[in-house]
Chains A and B, each alone.
Chain A
Amino acid sequence: MNKIFEVPLYPYQHSSDQDASVPVRHPVVIIGAGPIGLAMGIDLAQQGVKVVIVDDNDKVSSGSRAICFAKRPLEILDRLGCGQPMVDKGVKWDVGKVFFDEREVYTFNLLPEEGHQRPAFINLQQYYFEEYLVNRVRELEAEGAPIEIRGGNKVTAIGTHPDHATLEIDTPDGPYNIEADWLIACDGAGSPTRQMLGLDFVGRVFEDNFLIADVIMDADFPTERWFWFDPPFNRGQSALLHKQPDGVWRIDLQLGWDIDKEEEKKPENVIPRLKAMLGDDVEFELEWVSIYTFQCRRMEKFRHGRVLFAGDAAHQVSPFGARGANSGLQDTDNLGWKLKLVIDGTADEALLDSYDVERIHGADENILNSTRSTDFITPKSTTSRLLRDAVLDLSEKYEFARPLVNSGRLSVPCTYDGSPLNSADALDGPIKTRPGSSCPDAPLGDEFLLPKLGNKFTLLTIDAEAPDVIEEAGVEVTRLALSVKDDKTGALQERYLGDAPSAVYLIRPDQHVAARRPSFDENLFRAAIRRATGKE
C-alpha cells in the first residue's frame, strides 16, 4: 500500500533561516498545514502576501477525518483556484434516509436549489482535500507566488510582542528562531499555540464516544446519507453510513461513555460490529479506525494582538452537521482580505477585530446547531429520550414531525447580521442577500456569477448606472454591470432584486454583501466602502 496519506508531501528541507545570525522576520507565519492552514496560506499568497506555513508533520492527514464539504466552502475553494479537483473527485449526494429501530422512518432530499455552479455537498476524504490544497500551493510556487511549506518544523515556544510574534522551531537539524508580523494558528482542536499562550477554550463536554471506521467495500448501497437511531445492530445508540470516493464508506457508531477505547479500536472488536451492521456476506477491508469524543467550545476571542486563531484551534463542534472544516474555511475567507489590507497599510489593525465579531458569530451559530443535534442524537435524560423517540415515531407517519428530527443540521453559509462592516439595508430586496450575507450564485448564460466576484471589492449593478471604478480610502472598487435582460433563468432577479426594479450591491472580497441600495449614490457608497474596511 502506498496511499496518499503515507507519502511525505512536504518533507523537511533545511531553510536559510536556520543559518541566519538574527531571526528572520516574515510578514505572515501560519502554524499547521491542515485544510485551514493551507487554505489560509493560499488565500494570502494569491494576494501577494509572503507566507510561511510550518507543520511538525510532513504528510496529509491520516484517515478520512473531515469528509463532508458544503457548497459555500466549495465556492471559497473556487476563489482559491482549487475547487474543481475537489468537485471532480468528490461524491455528490443530496438524499438522506433516517432509520429508527428496525424501520426506515423517512427519506429527505436536500433538493439543491437550481442555478448554482456547486452542489449542496460533496464527500471527500480529508487526505484528498489536503493533497489538492498542497497541489495548489505547488502551482502558486511555480508561478512565483511567495508561499512556502516547511514540514518537520515543530513550534516549541511563542513570544508575543505589540508588533510581532517570535517562534522557536525544532527541526531534524536542531532548533532555530523566526519572527512574524502576524501569526495565524491553524493547529487544530488541541492547538499547541493556544496552550503555549495559556489561552482559554471553554464549552460543553459531551460524555460519549464514537467509533469511526472507514471501510473499503464493493457494496450496492446507494449514494445517500443513512442515519440510524437505536438500530438492532447498535442498541440504544446511533449509527451513520456515508459514501466517499474510491469505494470507501464512512461508518460512525455511537458507543456510549463507559468504554475501553483501546479495546474497542482493535479490529477483532470492530469487525463484528460492522458485520452486524452490514450483514455477514458483505466483504470489506478496514482502512482506518478511530474513536473520538467531542466538545462544543470556542475561545473567548480569536484575535490576540498579532496572533490570530482559525478553524478548530479557535472553535470546536461535534461532527454532526459537518460544521468543522466547513466553518474553518469560512474563517480563512473572512481573515484573508482583511489581513491583506492591514499589511498594506490600507486599513487599520482594528479591521481585524471584525474578524472576531463575524467569526465568533459564526462559531456560536455552529455550536448552537451542533449542540442541539447532539442533544437529539444522544438524549441526556429519560424524558429527553421519550420526546426524541416520540418525534421519530411520529415522523414515520406524519410529515410535521420530520423537521424536528435532528441527525445533524448541515452546514449553511453564515450571515454576518449586525456586523460593524455592514451598512444599513437600503433595498427592499430579498432577505437572502441582505447586508452580511454571502452572495448566492446565479447562472449568467453559460457562466456563473460567483467566479466574477471575490478577491477584491466589487460594485454589482443590476439595471443601474454607476462609475466603472471608484477609489475610496485606498480601496479600489470595480463595477460588474448586469441586467435582468441577460437573466434567462430569473435566478438573478429572484436572489438579488425581488420586487425592486434595480439594485447596486457593494460586495466584499470574501463575496459577502456589505451594502445595497436601489441605485448608485456616490456619497453613500463611499461611506459604505469606508465602513466595510473598518474606517467608520
Chain B
Amino acid sequence: MARTRKAEASEEKAPETGVNAFVGKDELLKFYQDMLLIRRFEERAGQLYGMGLIGGFCHLYIGQEAIAVGMQSISRKGDQIITGYRDHGHMLAAGMDPREVMAELTGRAGGSSKGKGGSMHMFDVETGFYGGHGIVGAQVSLGTGLALANAYKGNGGVSYAYMGDGAANQGQVYESFNMAQLWKLPVVYVIENNQYAMGTSVERSASETAFHKRGVSFRIPGEEVDGMDVIAVREAGARATEHARSGQGPYILEMKTYRYRGHSMSDPAKYRTKEEVDEVKTTRDPIDHIKERLAKAGVTEDDLKGVDAEVKRIVAEAAEFARTSPEPDPSELYTDVYLEAAE
C-alpha cells in the first residue's frame, strides 16, 4: 500500500475511503518512469515489428499507460493480475523483466514463455501476472477463478481482471460478475474503455456505453475513472481494492482511456479521424499529465532527463536481448505439453 508522504510534495489529498492513495514526489517520479518505460518499450516493439523481428499479432498499449501503472501501485504481493492480449503494459507494470517480455515478442528462447507464447501469452507467477490471454473475455472468468482461489485459501489476495470495452460485451463476463458477487470474491474488474473494440466504436457496439453500470444488475458497485490520470486511477483503485479485500466482493472500474495506435500493428485505424487522435494526444496524454503534476511538485524537465535516459537504456537493452537471444531449441517443440509427475 502507499506510504504516506508529507504534503509538500503534492497537492493531492488522501481519498475518503480510509485507504490512503496519497502520493508524494518520489512516487510521482516512479509513476512517470513506469509509464514512460511502457511507452518507449511499445514504440520500440512497433519498430521491431516493422523490421520483421516480431510476427503475428502485436497490440500496443500506448495511450493507456496510466491504468496499468496506477492500478499496480495499489496492489500488493500475492495479488494477481490477468488481462487480454493488449498485455505488455501490465507485464512491465507488474515488474516483469523487459528483456524477457521483448524476447517473447521476438519468439526467442530468452522470452518469458521460451518463445512459445508470443505477444499475447506471457505469464509470471512470481510477479502475480497470470497472462496474457487471446480469447476476448476469457480472462475475466479466469481472473474470477483466481479470486475464488484467494477466498478458498483465505490468503487475503485480490485478483485484478482487466478487459477492454469489447470484452465487456462477452457473455462469460456477466456469468463471472454473477458468481463473484454471489460468493463475494475478492476481484476488481478493470474495464479499459479505449472507445474502440478493434474497429467498432462503443456507440456502435454497446447498448449501454457507461460500462461502470454493467454490474448494476448483479449489485456490483462501479465507478467511472479518468484512465488518463494515473492519480485518479490510483485513488479509484484503492477504493476498489479496499472493497474487494475486505470481503465485500467485486468492484468495477471503468477507465476512460484511448489507444493511440491501431488495434494491432496491421490496423490502419481508418475508423477514426486523425483529428480525434491528435486531440487526445495533445489534451489528455497521461504522461504529459503526470509531467504537469511533477512540475507543480517542483520537478523540472532537467530532473526528468535522468529518468528518460534510464528508460532509454532499459529499452535498448531489452531490444538488444530480444534480437540476440537464440530461437528456442527444436527440442522445445514437445516440452510443456504435459507435466510428468503426479502429485
Same complex origin of A and B:
no
A interface list, Cβ under 8 A from B? none
B interface list, Cβ under 8 A from A? none
